[in-house]
Structures are given as C-alpha cells and as structure tokens.
Amino acid sequence: MRYSLLKILAEGLKGNTGWTPVWRNPEPREAYDVVIVGAGGHGLATAYYLAKEFGITNVAVLEKGWLGSGNIGRNTTIIRSNYLLPGNEPFYEFSMKLWEGLEQDFNYNAMVSQRGIINLYHNDGQQAAYLRRANAMRMAGADAVMLSQDEVRRLCPFLDFDNARFPIKGGLMQPRGGTVRHDAVAWGYARGADERGVDIIQNCEVTGFQIEDGVCRGVETSRGKISAKKVAVCVAGSSSRVMSLAGMRLPIESHVLQAFVSEGLKPTIPGVVTFGAGHFYVSQSDKGGLVFGGDLDGYNSYAQRGGLPVVEDVCEGGMAVMPMIGRARLLRGWGGIMDMSMDGSPFIDRTSIDGLYFNGGWCYGGFKATPASGFTYAHLIARDEPHPVAAAYRLDRFQRGAMIDEKGMGAQPNLH
C-alpha cells in the first residue's frame, strides 16, 4: 500500500477502515538465499537494499526480540557526516545523501530533519582541529561552516559563552546534520523489505551456526534450523556473543551508553549542540523534550542500564554549557549496549568462514550510518566485494596496521 496525502484523505472519509498492517508476521521457512541476524536498523536496511537494489528477495531477517528493540530504538537520533579520516568520511557522507532521499525512496515519514549540528570549541587548539576536520569534510563533498562566537551566539543565545573555564569561542557547523525519528527508520525499512518479499521473523533467536568444512550453511534458532546460502550478522551490542557461536573472537567490547530526555518545553534549541570541553550533547525533539547524553559508563556491560556517576557527569556538562537546563525536569533515562571497537570504527566484512558475513563495531555512532551500512552490506553480500566507500572496514585492519582511529586513542574501546 502506497502512503500519500490522497490516501489519508480517502481513509479519513472511510473512517480509517482500509489501513492494513505495515508488515506480515510470517512463519520461518526451511531455507533462504540470505539470512540476516538482527532486525535493528542495520539488519532491516540491509534486507531492504538487498531486495530493492540488488534483486535478492528470498531473504529472512531473524530477530530475538521485537523489531526495533535494540539500539535503533534507544539512540539520540543524530545524523551527521563530520568525520575526519579518509576511511570514514566518504562512507558517512554517502549515508547523509541516502538520508536526504530516504523518505521518498521508502515512502515512509521518517521525520528527517536537517536542522544542523554545531560542535562548540573552547580554545585555539580545538579551533585548528575543527578547521582541519571541516576541510576534510569538504574534500569528501560534505558541508562544513566555521562559526565565530557571534554567529553561535545568534543561533544559540542560551549557551554560557563566558564560562570562566570553558568560554565558547565558536563552533564547527554542519548545516545538513540533524535528527531522524529512529523508530520510523526501522519501521520504514521493515515495511519496504516486507513489501518486496523479505520475511521478518521476530522472537527468533539465533543460537548457533551450521558450519561444515569452513562453510556456513545456515543457522540454528529458537524456532528450529534455517538453511541459508549466506548468513549476515548485524547484532550491534551482541556481536561478540553471537560471533562466539561461530568460534570467532572480535576486536570489540560491549559497553553501556545512557541517554536522557526532559519534559516537553517550547522550542529553544535550533539543532544539535555538542559541548567541546566535556561529555554532553543535546537536541530538542518535535515533542519538545530535550534529548541529551554524554559519555559511556566505561566498563564492559550487557545490562541495558547505566549507573549514577555518569548521570551526574552528563548533567554537570549540561549545566556548564547551558545553565538553563537546570530548570528542566528529567523525564526518563535509559541505556543501550554499544559494540565498541578497538579503534572506534566499524566493520563490514566477510569472515574466515565462507558464507558468513559480519557487520558491527558501530560504537555510539551507528544510527547515522544505518542507510549506508545497509546499502554497503547488501553490496558485499550480493557481490562478494566491498562497496568502495566501505572498503576500509575490514576485520584484519589491526593486523595490517590500518586502524581508523578518529580520536587517536589506541586500542582502548572505552575512550573512543
């Protein structure tokens, strides 16, 4: 069913009796060409692009819980392509271009809102680093604007510019950055994949792989065995757990990241703002809530909840950069499990086991990557060669000394 204004008007006249479920709830079949493990943003986008761009429709997406129950429904919805390194920036800019056409492409309202992201800087060294980043962005075809203090002041008069320790000197802005309704991304991709014949199977946990002579021939699940010519894993925070079923150890640690939302307020924050001297970033949702977050809790965790020290740290950051936030009441906070990689960058690669593919290591930044991750993973699965913009995301890059370490932190996942 195609959604349109006409359809809404027609349904309004018919008492909204003609709407049908957005996707089916099929029983798993015995065999598929491709089985995707994990119905998060990346799994669903992969299925959608496999069907739409690469003509492979005999596909199942297996999800242990309900569709969208992982990080796709827990993130702070920020999209941007403001990376520095050549292994990353073209990929994230490709993703940004896909975001820009996404709603028309999958005929679903994902509330893509390009209202800009500003990274504040507080000293000369940071300004120089941001200028370098801005130039790297422009070289990859992205947009970047260096803002003076006055220009930031005009956009965000509520910030504490004259903070004694961290005065705001200016910012790096990406006007095309912004936010997207995260759940709607999952739903839109699910609907688009389902329409093209993909089976999305919920409450179906993958518990093992059928591997014979180094070739993966399918999966074992809580709902029985399913054969597949190709198995593509993208389970984000569960990456190490799932790949250990195939005997693999990954360059990944799982960490919890928290986020918070305040009560609904009148519109105040024009886009996304990040503090350059502490761990704090904030945007305002369409419902008016301030959506904000900060640093990881910092220790390995699979419990989808965080501790109080980080709540305090995030709120301190908020008070330092926008003191008025102290007047807003906190409505809720939650945590999600991040697949933190050893260099802070992701993997989209084949594995040493034929027919088994891996996508993960997205850290705290995989939401913005959803379209490009799905597209390039589908490309890899369909053609068995990496898409040019994702060619650096190989599992063996540490062996080759080809890390993509944006922050220059080394092999210390909790610092990326």
The single-letter DSSP state of residue 243 is: H
Residue 234 binds which entry of other proteins, ligand FAD, none, with Cβ cut-offs from 5 to 8 Å by kind? ligand FAD
Q: Which is nearer to ligand FAD, 171 or 237 (CB)?
A: 237
Residue 192 binds which entry of other proteins, ligand FAD, none, with Cβ cut-offs from 5 to 8 Å by kind? none
Binding positions for ligand FAD, 305-364, rule CB under 6 A: 336, 338, 362, 364
Binding positions for ligand FAD, 53-82, rule CB under 6 A: 62-65, 69-72, 74-78
> Residue 415 burial by CB count (10 A; 0-12/13-18/19+): exposed, middle or buried?
middle
Q: Which is nearer to ligand FAD, 276 or 365 (CB)?
A: 365
Closest CA to 174 of 368, 382, 409, 406: 368
> Collapsing DSSP states into helix, strand and coil, what is residue 4?
coil
Query: Which residues, other chains included, contact 260 with Cβ-Cβ below 8 Å and sequence gap of 6+?
Result: 291, 292, 293, 311, 314, 330, 332, 333
Residue 309 binds which entry of other proteins, ligand FAD, none, with Cβ cut-offs from 5 to 8 Å by kind? other proteins
> Residue 95 burial by CB count (10 A; 0-12/13-18/19+): exposed, middle or buried?
buried
Residue 96 binds which entry of other proteins, ligand FAD, none, with Cβ cut-offs from 5 to 8 Å by kind? none
- Measured from the Cβ of residue 286, the count of other Cβ atoms closer than 10 Å reads 11
The single-letter DSSP state of residue 354 is: B
Place of tokens 């802070």: 344
Residue 414 found at the interface with other proteins (CB under 8 A): yes
Query: Roughly how many angstroms between the first and final C-alpha of the chain, as a whole number?
Result: 43
Q: Strands 224-233 and 356-360, how do they pair?
A: parallel
Residue 19 found at the interface with other proteins (CB under 8 A): no
C-alpha–C-alpha distance, residues 346 and 362, integer Å: 5
Residue 207 found at the interface with other proteins (CB under 8 A): no
Q: Which is nearer to other proteins, 114 or 345 (CB)?
A: 345
Residue 51 binds which entry of ligand FAD, other proteins, none, with Cβ cut-offs from 5 to 8 Å by kind? none
Select the span of 41-49, 137-145, 165-173, 223-231 touching ligand FAD (CB under 6 A).
41-49
Quote the least distance from Cβ 238 to other proteins, whole Å.
Answer: 8
C-alpha–C-alpha distance, residues 118 and 121, integer Å: 9
> Residue 212 burial by CB count (10 A; 0-12/13-18/19+): exposed, middle or buried?
exposed
Beta-strand ranges (E) seen in 130-196 are: 145-148, 170-174, 178-179
* Residue among 62, 72, 250, 404 that touches other proteins (CB under 8 A): 250
C-alpha–C-alpha distance, residues 89 and 369, integer Å: 11
C-alpha–C-alpha distance, residues 106 and 340, integer Å: 30
Angle at 397 between CA 296 and CA 386, to 5 degrees: 100
Binding positions for other proteins, 350-409, rule CB under 8 A: 398-399
Residue 208 found at the interface with ligand FAD (CB under 6 A): no
Which string of x and - marks every residue 282-301 that binds ligand FAD (by CB under 6 A)?
A: -----------x--------
* Residue among 185, 186, 338, 342 that touches other proteins (CB under 8 A): 342
Q: Which is nearer to other proteins, 58 or 412 (CB)?
A: 412
* Residue among 34, 56, 118, 236 that touches ligand FAD (CB under 6 A): 236
Residue 244 found at the interface with other proteins (CB under 8 A): yes
Quote the least distance from Cβ 72 to other proteins, whole Å.
Answer: 20
**Binding region for ligand FAD (CB under 6 A):** 37-43, 62-65, 69-72, 74-78, 205-206, 234-238, 242, 257-259, 293, 336, 338, 362, 364-368
Which residues in this chain contact other proteins in the complex, by CB under 8 A? 240-241, 244, 249-254, 298-303, 307, 309, 342, 398-399, 411-414
